[in-house]
Amino acid sequence: MNYYSLHHKSPKSTFKNAVVEGLAKDRGIYFPDNIQQLSKDFIENISDYTNHEIAYEVIKQFVGDEIPAEKLKEIVANTVSFDFPLVKVDDNIAALELFHGPTMAFKDVGAKFMAQCLEYFNKDNDDEVTVLVATSGDTGGAVANGFLGAKGVNVVILYPSGKVSDIQEKQLTTLGQNITALEVDGVFDDCQEMVKTAFLDEEITKTLTSANSINVARWLPQMFYFFFAYKELHKKHKDLIFSVPSGNFGNICAGIMAQKLGLPIKHFVASTNVNDTVPNYLVDGVYKPKPSKATISNAMDVGNPSNFIRIQELFNNDLDALKCAFSSYSFSDDETRATMKEIYANSGYVADPHGAVGYLGLKKHGLKENEFGVFLETAHPVKFLDVVEGTLPVKVEIPAQIKKVINNKKVAYKASTYQDLKDFLLKK
């Protein structure tokens, strides 16, 4: 499968090259050249397939012959190695829980898939590749875990000192081996800026790549769980509406790709916190990125969502067509807290702040008689312990995955300027 840059100024790329490069040379993000619908037969009989078989069917056209079928099946099986349960919270609404993986956020899926692809592509290369990633919280842990032990791959994670939760910090600073954490004296944007500068620095001759959601190998496997949910629901409910708590808009863009492959999804709702660039765009047709604002659903504090351009491409840049299939609404922290309480009072379900924003999106959109709403529960409530225990009368039990890291010793190098990162990369 070939990929083109959405800036249209670089030549087409193979899957391998798109994974290894991350971004095209013209700084555009990659998009698949050709999208084939899956057979009607497969969609209609989806209940006959295991999750591993479904994931393989969904991803294979995007990899083509660049990874042998048997190897790709193995990669998919390692990626989809946990459950994706649907939990009903209302008569016509269910949470799709994406947090049963090793770091308890949906990012485990993309990180594990990408790590294995990169390891495969680099297996005959004597030079190591360095994955540089800036995190505001969940990405760091998922990437650290997904890439742990990957041969020929070094991972450097930059995170803002004091701005990630204790659990998130432990998840990204305690694994060792090929994973190094840099604790940056600054905010997330500073980390991101340092990563961007490194990519443009000609004195760094190592192969650098990015593991942010712009990488096609992190983005595309996120289609899998839309199919899994459909498999569970399609016999009872015809018209499915998905609400996706959105920050960089990679997850919802994967859902729209699933629809493009033929998955019958009636409508998408992109639910955001007060970082409302996309909801505003749908209202007035003007795309105005702005600096991000801090909220209690902090994994979605993004002012210029990097995957939105892919969504526009999927609708041929036709705003009216986009509006028919896609809505986007923004919610405040007060509304989010009130909704966490409402969901808990009605059903006893403990939603994390991101999931609550997703639920709010379904309520705002409204569900007609024959419609069924699914909101993505993107992280386990334990990852936002202060907010959850401060809002609901509950004590969140610490799951085994978290217990495993919580008492490990943090190891992180300090960095305050780009030169610190550069020195670190040059001596490694």
Ligand X SMILES: *Cc1c(COP(=O)(O)O)cnc(C)c1O
Mention every residue, 6+ apart, whose C-beta is less than 8 A from residue 145.
102, 103, 108, 111, 112, 171, 175
Using CB under 6 A, which of 251, 275, 292, 328 touches ligand X?
A: 251
Using CB under 6 A, which of 79, 145, 168, 213 touches ligand X?
A: 213
Rounded to the nearest 10 degrees, how much is the dihedral formed by the CA atoms of 67, 68, 74, 76? 50
d(CA 136, CA 293): 13
Using CB under 6 A, which of 57, 97, 108, 138 touches ligand X?
A: 138
Q: Decide whether 63 or 356 has the Cβ nearer to ligand X.
A: 356
Least separation in angstroms between residue 159's CB and ligand X is: 14
Q: Decide whether 101 or 186 has the Cβ nearer to ligand X.
A: 101
Rounded to the nearest 10 degrees, how much is the dihedral formed by the CA atoms of 412, 415, 419, 424? -10
| Residue among 140, 89, 71, 79 nearest 112 (CA) | 79
Least separation in angstroms between residue 305's CB and ligand X is: 7
d(CA 360, CA 377): 12
Q: Which residue stretch of 3-11, 44-52, 248-256, 258-266 sits at the interface with ligand X (rule: CB under 6 A)?
A: 248-256
Q: Decide whether 211 or 425 has the Cβ nearer to ligand X.
A: 211
Q: Which residue stretch of 40-48, 249-257, 260-268, 393-401 sits at the interface with ligand X (rule: CB under 6 A)?
A: 249-257
Per the rule left: phi > 0, alpha: psi between -120 and 50, beta: everything else, 352 is: beta
385 binds ligand X (CB under 6 A): no
Q: Is 107 a catalytic residue?
A: yes
Q: Tell me, what amino acid is at 204?
A: I
Catalytic residue among 107, 112, 170, 231: 107
246 binds ligand X (CB under 6 A): yes
Q: Are 233 and 374 in contact (CB under 8 A)?
A: yes
- 55 HSE (CA, 13 A, CB side): 23
299 binds ligand X (CB under 6 A): yes
243 binds ligand X (CB under 6 A): no
Using CB under 6 A, which of 3, 67, 107, 225 touches ligand X?
A: 107
Using CB under 6 A, which of 220, 257, 300, 351 touches ligand X?
A: 300
Q: Which residue has the tokens 């930059």?
A: 158
Catalytic residues: 107
Residues lying near ligand X in the complex (CB under 6 A) are found at: 105, 107, 138, 213, 245-251, 299-300, 354, 378-379
